[in-house]
Structure 1
Amino acid sequence: MNITFLGTGTSQGVPMIGCGCEVCTSANPKDNRLRSAVWLQNEDTSVVIDSGPDFRYQMLRAKVETLDGIVFTHGHKDHVAGLDDVRAYNYWTQKDIDIFANPDTEEILRREFQYAFSNIQYPGLPQLAIHSLTGQDFTVGSMDFRTIKVLHYKLEVFGYRIGDFTYITDANYIAPEEMDKIRGTKILVLNALRHEKHISHFTLNEAIDIAQEIGAEQTYFTHISHQLGLHDEINTSLPQGIFLAYDGLKLTC
């Protein structure tokens, strides 16, 4: 399976107008992050996890020519706001795009994109087929997904394990039974917002502790705030086998 990081930032991770900090003004492209999302592709299936506000540009930048499904972690705007732009894939494939979401996220999608789910349909609307998730395993094309429930403060967020690859974002707590689902992963992706304590995200040190407990061969941190610091400086300070992800990073698992 090929893995492409479409974005590794947060709404506080993209360059901020007027901020002036060393990250927001950095010339290093690894410090220029769009909202967090990842593209998974194998021989016959193409899936994106989350479609934030940067979705259209991310898909163009990564040259994603086919799309079989979008799997959502949760319903916050920085993870769902770009869903409307699936209509280009509807046009080329002449079929619905399968989307997978838990009940809370499904409710948000139906409210925010009510015209796509209305009884009144007309050409050009996004064509979506919703599949409700309650924590069960599921399949998109030839990819098998195992759901991992994490907490984003008090909000339940879904992470996913696909074979030896696990993707978790927007979390600050993982229960022991959910940690057990991750063990044995070869590549782990985990959120690491900043150094300072946060109410709903892992800090860098908290993410390192989780990564070392899991012991994946490679761990990559995503959902990175500009408050974390410059990519190259932080990356070189991390323990062996742990790295900062960056937009456009490609992996194979």
Structure 2
Amino acid sequence: MKPSLTVTFLGTGTSQGIPVIGSDHPVCQSTDLRDKRLRVSVLLQWKDKSYVVDCGPDFRQQMLRTGVSRLDGILLTHEHSDHTAGLDDIRPFYFRQGEIPFYAEQRVFDALHDRFAYIFETVNKYPGAPAIREELIAKGQSFELDQMSITPVEVLHGDLPVLGFRVGDFVYLTDAKTMSEDQRKLIRGCEVLVVNALRKEPHYTHFNLDEALEFVADIQPRQAYFTHISHLMGFHAQVDNELPDHVNLAYDGLTITI
């Protein structure tokens, strides 16, 4: 019997977050907490295990919000800063636990070696730096984490391949613009789908709202949530009310169980 999965949305915003620094856009001025969006990430918990997908620049704040004191691993979708810039903030977990397993493609690890060279130093390494254990993964090659099946699936973020993850009957995709039919087959009919929907206007590397709705109609999950949302999408309360019954905008702090 597969364990139940609890998903907490740590951040549901795009690369700048909401509010955007210095912006006087009405959404950035909103007092609705659902319009306050940290950079995109989710916490996955089953049994006594806790995994995070992506560790962006708000990682520290997100971990403090959830009260998580132990982290069993981090899965990375791709190397962009809004998904990896919080890497150094794994230090409290590292000091308590030792090396933290990271699951990513080789290209992503190569980028981390360039950006965080001091973490991967082997000679005279700074004693306050954390360490990670690199676990290579590839699209379509399933693996198991603590009795939970994980299948990496690939989307294209413009021309950049990005991994999403099917975790049991839950699918998490971010930074998607296109997805091939062979990869869609790996997720079609899932229980819950989370996918990016940046704004209503078209964008060259992200689904806009209409494209995300078309994608949901093709995949046919029981329930879908949109994430990686820009202030240009509009107010949460208004947009969410306009969506089909089985589709919602996610918001920071939302927790669901599958």
Q: Aligned-pair RMSD on alpha carbons?
A: 1.1
Quote the residue 2:199 is aligned against.
194
Instruction: Work out the CA distance in 2 between the residues paired with 1:130 and 1:221.
Output: 30
Quote the residue 2:254 is aligned against.
249
1:37 to 41, 47, 55: 41
Alignment of 1:1-253 (within 5 A): 1-93=5-97, 95-120=98-123, 121-135=125-139, 136-253=141-258
1:111-164, Cα deviation, whole Å (9 max, x unpaired) = 111111111234321120011122222233333210111100100000100001
Per-residue deviation at 1:19?
A: 1.4
Instruction: Work out the CA distance in 2 between the residues paired with 1:17 and 1:69.
Output: 31
* Gap runs ≥5 in structure 2: none
One-letter amino acid of the counterpart of residue 110, structure 2: E
1:43-62, Cα deviation, whole Å (9 max, x unpaired) = 13210000000000011011
Aligned length: 252
Instruction: Work out the CA distance in 2 between the residues paired with 1:47 and 1:217.
Output: 24
Q: TM-score when scaled to structure 1?
A: 0.97
8 Å contact from structure 1 (residues 138, 144) kept in 2: yes
Secondary structure of the equivalent of 2:62? helix
Secondary structure of the equivalent of 1:181? coil
Per-residue deviation at 1:181?
A: 0.6
Give 4+ residue runs of structure 1 displaced > 4 Å after superposition.
none
Instruction: Work out the CA distance in 1 between the residues paired with 2:179 and 2:121.
Output: 37
8 Å contact from structure 1 (residues 44, 142) kept in 2: no
* Gap runs ≥5 in structure 1: none
